[in-house]
Amino acid sequence: MTIKIIKLTLGVLETNCYIVGDTATGDAIVIDPADQADLIRQTVSKQGWTVRLILATHGHFDHILASADLKAATGVPFRVHKADLPLVQAMPQIVQEWLGAEVGPAAEPDGFVSEGDTITMGGITLDVLFTPGHSPGHVSYVLRGENTVFSGDVLFYESIGRADLPGGDYSTLMESIVNKLLPLGDAVKVMPGHMQDTTIGHERQHNPYVTEYLRSRAQ
């Protein structure tokens, strides 16, 4: 196996940043540069890898706080779904409202990701699933060949993402889970934006939001 995943839990909201590296080629992709760009860079460097791409599952500030610094330091593209561009651009104001802190702007996206895209870097292949509901442009990334999905803030261990934030919608969120994530299969590992890892199978059986929603749809 040449693919290695490193999880860093960063920032005041304890957001999971993932570094996906190809140990054979040294190529790496950073998913959700949550905070502490220097630590992300040091972690990549310690592995002997080179960051080739920065991705975000969505545009909420706690997932992109380090995007500008990381992009400036590496010179690589930053990509997010276009529907979350307003969130990305409003990050300084949103951080001020939430945390009372002043931060600079997030990285300007160099391109956008969409449902059905396949992103390839070295031996890393990510399939993009459009999974809105937590935010208008939320996506999940399926790591092909590794039975892993980076679910951002859609699906957590026995929980789900918030749908009460601006642009969120509960029914849309649940449909994303049921129609996009559950079909991936019970053996697929879920690496979420917060908290611990889980599996699709565990959430299908033990997530109270999922079991209740499936039950209501069956009635």
> Which residues are CB-neighbours of 38 under 8 A, at least 6 positions away?
69
Burial class of 94 by CB neighbour count within 10 A (0 to 12, 13 to 18, 19+) = buried
> ∠123-59-159 over CA atoms, to 5°?
85
Q: Tokens for 133, please give them.
A: 């509901």
Average the pLDDT over 190-199 and give the result. 98
> Distance (Å, rounded) from C-alpha 43 to C-alpha 30?
11
- Per-residue pLDDT reduced to its tens digit, 4-42: 999 999 999 999 999 999 999 999 999 999 999 999 999
Confidence category of residue 1, pLDDT binned at 50, 70, 90: low
Average pLDDT, the chain: 96
> Which residues are CB-neighbours of 218 under 8 A, at least 6 positions away?
none
* Better-scored residue on pLDDT, 31 or 99: 31
Average the pLDDT over 183-195 and give the result. 98
Confidence category of residue 166, pLDDT binned at 50, 70, 90: confident
Type of residue numbered 131:
T
Percentage of residues in the chain having pLDDT higher than 70: 100
- pLDDT (0 to 100) of residue 217: 82
Options 1.10.10.10, 3.20.20.70, 3.60.15.10, 1.25.40.10; CATH of 3-218: 3.60.15.10
Phi, psi of 8 (to 5 degrees): -115, 130
Query: Above 80 in pLDDT, residue 61?
Result: yes
Query: Above 70 in pLDDT, residue 207?
Result: yes
Query: Above 90 in pLDDT, residue 45?
Result: yes
Q: Give the start-to-end residue ranges of the domains of the chain.
A: 3-218
Type of residue numbered 112:
F
Confidence category of residue 218, pLDDT binned at 50, 70, 90: confident
> Distance (Å, rounded) from C-alpha 44 to C-alpha 176?
32
> Distance (Å, rounded) from C-alpha 46 to C-alpha 125?
23
Give the predicted TM-score (pTM) of the model: 0.96
Average the pLDDT over 87-99 and give the result. 94
- pLDDT (0 to 100) of residue 219: 73
Confidence category of residue 156, pLDDT binned at 50, 70, 90: very high
